[in-house]
């Protein structure tokens, strides 16, 4: 096989700040290439205060490597891991839309109730993404053992076209990719985590399915039944609060949907859905069993009615990362003729 070298210069120009978390910031940016090529992407940058922490950097790099080969319509795609001026960053697929937290806040502001079928549809797409991630194997065909561990409203995006995307595998666990302290620290958002997460236990893919159940219940009820005044109160509710009869909380919830919720939210993981495929099957059977059901286009039309196809107002941009210039050499194998 002959090798040849391609010299590329990538320049990213920050357009606006999309989201700011405790450890990182996500920007919308333009990637500029040869011959006036321009592509809109999302740039995730770690905060300088965390840049010197070895474990954090290892996990940030591990996240990028982990999701590099997760190519699925319901998972945000990663394009590049880079570093400039001492700051590591990940270039990702840009989703023109909102996360579920922003979505439900707008519903509340406009006094709208999310249709039951759309709540189930959104959740089924999350289950599809997880089914793919959970079954992912490495280049040798060995299971990677991916568990997202942070399936929550902030990490589920809806594009204005109606695509549902799971994002942020920053605390996911997978063999050989991330430094993990599971069993010693609690990972995830307290009001969405599984009982085994909340109890400092080792998790598997069934933990994510509990979180999907919390997402579905939250979408249907308009509130998270596990959310307390503090993180510790939320954790205790996850551990000790009995799972209610959802039919008594919302008249739209029938026996079948109540059973799906209980099958997700049962505390004993051995009684929970064993795989995301099984959960996805039940959710899709529920909305499509009688014939035609919601689609990406249905959800897209609904969300555009709510937002007018404009994302919430962005926060002021950070001039520190106004322009990022990278020079990268890529080695490409060319078949020998």
CATH number of the domain to which 281 belongs: 1.10.510.10
- Name which residue leads in pLDDT, 131 or 323: 131
Do 103 and 42 lie in a common domain? no
Q: Give residue 33's pLDDT band: very low, low, confident or very high (50, 70, 90).
A: confident
User: Do 278 and 303 share a domain, yes or no?
Assistant: yes
Q: Which residues are tagged catalytic?
A: 150
CA distance 8 to 222: 48
Q: Which of 14-18, 130-134, 260-264 has the lowest mean pLDDT?
A: 14-18
Rounded (to 5) percent helix, strand, coil in the chain: 40, 25, 40
Do 196 and 228 reside in the same domain of the chain? Answer: yes
pLDDT value at residue 328: 36
The answer to whether residue 238 is domain-embedded is yes
- The domain tally of the chain equals 2
Residues 264 and 328 in one domain: no
Classify residue 241: in a domain, yes or no: yes
152 in the same domain as 284: yes
In a domain, 224, yes or no: yes
What per-residue confidence (pLDDT) applies to 137? 87
Q: Are residues 294 and 319 in the same domain?
A: no
Q: Tell whether 251 is covered by a domain.
A: yes
Domain match, 241 and 103 both: yes
CB burial string 56-91: b at 16+ within 10 A, e below? bbebbbbbbebbeebebebbbbbbbbbeeeeebbbb
CATH no. for residue 24?
A: 3.30.200.20
Of the chain, the percentage scoring pLDDT greater than 90 comes to 53
In percent, the amount of the chain with pLDDT more than 70 equals: 79
For residues 135 and 62, membership in a common domain is answered with no
Does residue 337 belong to any structural domain of this protein?
Answer: no
pLDDT in tens, 297-311: 999 999 999 998 665
Which are the contacts of 177, defined by CB distance < 8 A and separation ≥ 6? 62, 63, 65, 66, 144
Q: Average pLDDT of the chain? A: 83
- Distance in angstroms (rounded) separating the CA atoms of residues 114 and 123: 13
pLDDT in tens, 111-148: 999 999 999 999 999 999 999 999 988 888 888 888 98
Same domain for 123 and 83? no
The strand ranges marked E within the chain are 2-20, 24-32, 38-46, 78-84, 87-93, 97-99, 156-159, 164-166, 323-334
pLDDT at 313 over 60: no
Residues 124 and 239 in one domain: yes
Window from 36-45, 58-67, 107-116, 205-214 with minimum mean pLDDT: 58-67
Overall average pLDDT of the 210-219 stretch? 98
Q: What is the pLDDT of residue 183?
A: 45
* Residue 6 dihedral angles phi and psi, to the nearest 5°: -110, 120
Query: pLDDT of 51-60, one tens digit each?
Result: 667 766 777 7
For 58-69, the pLDDT digits (tens) are 777 777 777 788
75 shares a domain with 142: no
Q: Which helix (H) or strand (E) holds 194?
A: none
Is the pLDDT assigned to residue 234 strictly greater than 80? yes
Domain of 33? 2-95+314-332
Q: What whole-number distance in Å separates Cα of residue 274 and Cα of residue 209? A: 9
Report whether pLDDT(239) > 90: yes
Q: Which tens digit of pLDDT belongs to each residue from 152-198?
A: 999 999 999 999 999 887 666 555 444 555 444 445 688 999 999 99
Return the higher-pLDDT residue of 16 and 85. 16
Q: Are 52 and 130 found together in one domain? A: no
């Amino acid at each position: 096989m002959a090798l040849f070298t391609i010299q590329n210069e990538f320049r990213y120009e920050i357009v606006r700040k999309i989201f700011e978390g405790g450890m990182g910031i996500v920007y919308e940016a333009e990637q500029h290439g040869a011959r006036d090529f321009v592509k809109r992407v999302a740039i995730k940058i770690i905060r300088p205060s965390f840049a010197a922490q070895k474990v954090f950097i290892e996990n940030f790099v591990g996240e990028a490597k982990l999701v590099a080969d997760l190519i699925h319509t319901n998972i945000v795609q990663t394009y590049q891991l880079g570093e400039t001026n001492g700051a590591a960053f990940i270039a990702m697929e840009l989703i023109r839309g909102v996360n579920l937290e922003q979505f439900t806040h707008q519903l509340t502001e406009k006094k709208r109730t999310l249709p039951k079928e759309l709540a189930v549809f959104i959740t089924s797409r999350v289950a599809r993404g997880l089914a793919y991630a959970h079954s992912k194997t490495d280049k040798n065909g060995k299971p990677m053992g991916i568990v997202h561990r942070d399936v929550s409203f902030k990490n589920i995006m809806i594009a204005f076209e109606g695509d549902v995307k799971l994002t942020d595998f920053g605390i996911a666990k997978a063999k050989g990719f991330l430094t993990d302290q599971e069993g010693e620290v609690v990972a995830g958002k307290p009001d969405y985590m599984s009982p085994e997460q909340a109890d400092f236990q080792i998790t598997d893919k069934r933990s994510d399915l509990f979180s999907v159940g919390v997402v579905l219940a939250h979408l249907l009820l308009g509130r998270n039944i596990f959310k307390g005044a503090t993180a510790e109160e939320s954790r205790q509710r996850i551990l000790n609060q009995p799972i209610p009869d959802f039919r008594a909380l919302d008249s739209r919830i029938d026996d079948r949907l109540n059973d799906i919720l209980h099958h997700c939210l049962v505390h004993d993981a051995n009684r929970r859905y064993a795989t995301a495929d099984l959960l996805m099957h039940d959710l899709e059977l529920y909305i499509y069993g009688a014939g035609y059901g919601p689609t990406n286009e249905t959800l897209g039309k609904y969300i555009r009615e709510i937002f007018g196809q404009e994302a919430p107002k962005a926060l002021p941009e950070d001039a520190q990362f106004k322009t990022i210039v990278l020079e990268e050499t890529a080695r490409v194998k060319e078949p020998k003729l």
